[in-house]
Structure 1
């Protein structure tokens, strides 16, 4: 009689099954899929113009202040921590070009920062789920821009808590102020709001 799989093995099998489902559905179902500890997140709404314009402006502003070997990448692939059972797709990934080489998903521990523009249709994904998942994945800095309110926050300094890793430092900002993400300070002037 075979032994029952242990907890870690079950988690790994469960994650692999979710990953397979996401891969099969990604090209046929509109929207974006991510995997959290709770399961698959499906944002059915394609990001609107204010969301995409915010991501483009923040990315360009970051790249103007960073050395050439660091990029504020807005494309694919995903960031995946298979051991943690999490696959996310930040709106902007601050990462060294050298860490982008190769195949497959990005290792989340190579990110310098993850930047999210809050989705109008699913704000809890950015303010709750990713706030939990990014420190668990080892992403050292997490910046959130919220076009619903014209505010945001930069979170850093991962530390251990009884509930798991969390960010110890949170610096809130309002649009119009300068904000520091990692080592780079950018303006938030002219970022659009949702109508």
Structure 2
């Protein structure tokens, strides 16, 4: 199926309008905004202590085992694929420091992995939306840590399906086990759970 150039332009125009709306709301409305194929996702809740502690412990553990030129980056900027109409802000991005030396959003194709700590207020964003969007963006590895259940999964090996790119491999784990993300194995011992 070929998409007409006018349809592509309308989609890009629609995406740019959503991005402008998100940017105008970012400093005035609490929470985090992302853009998916289905529209704007707004996580109204500020991350909780267990969410932030999980993110911190994962970042520290990964940076101990990764080469010095790589980072387990948390925070801004986001990753964006304008033609796909997707803007995401992973909790942790494994990326080369050299690929961070840019203005604006990171190119999602430079990410080694995206890591999410499931939000208590919107778990489907991590388990459904991002599981769909990260392979569309070309992120080779997606790891999910779920403090609600003390479980998670590492997804990899993007392949084409009738519904678009999807991850072919899924390795589930429970907290306490070692987990491999990309080329690096870390412990999940001591990661907090939501009360």
Distance in structure 1 (CA, Å) of the matches to 2:7 and 2:149 = 41
When normalised by structure 2's length, the TM-score is 0.97
Match of 1:89 in 2: 89
Match of 1:27 in 2: 27
Give 5+ residue unaligned stretches, structure 1. Answer: none
Distance in structure 2 (CA, Å) of the matches to 1:5 and 1:135 = 24
Distance in structure 2 (CA, Å) of the matches to 1:59 and 1:127 = 20
Match of 1:103 in 2: 103
Distance in structure 1 (CA, Å) of the matches to 2:121 and 2:104 = 28
Q: Which secondary structure does the structure 2 equivalent of 1:165 belong to?
A: strand
1:75 Cα offset (Å): 1.4
Q: Which secondary structure does the structure 2 equivalent of 1:160 belong to?
A: strand
Aligned positions of 1:13-162 closer than 5 A? 13-162=13-162
Q: C-alpha deviations, 1:34-65, integer Å up to 9, x for none? A: 00000000000000000000000001000000
Q: Which secondary structure does the structure 1 equivalent of 2:112 belong to?
A: strand
Distance in structure 1 (CA, Å) of the matches to 2:72 and 2:82 = 23
Q: C-alpha deviations, 1:55-102, integer Å up to 9, x for none? A: 000010000000000000011100001010000000000000000002
Distance in structure 2 (CA, Å) of the matches to 1:83 and 1:172 = 32
1:6 Cα offset (Å): 1.4
Distance in structure 1 (CA, Å) of the matches to 2:5 and 2:44 = 35
1:7 Cα offset (Å): 1.1
- Give the alignment's Cα RMSD to 1 decimal: 0.9
Distance in structure 2 (CA, Å) of the matches to 1:150 and 1:157 = 24
Match of 1:164 in 2: 164
When normalised by structure 1's length, the TM-score is 0.97
Give 5+ residue unaligned stretches, structure 2. Answer: none
1:5 Cα offset (Å): 6.8
Matched, 1:175 2:175: yes
Q: Aligned pair count?
A: 192
Once superposed, which parts of structure 1, at least 4 consecutive aligned residues long, lie more than 2 Å away? none
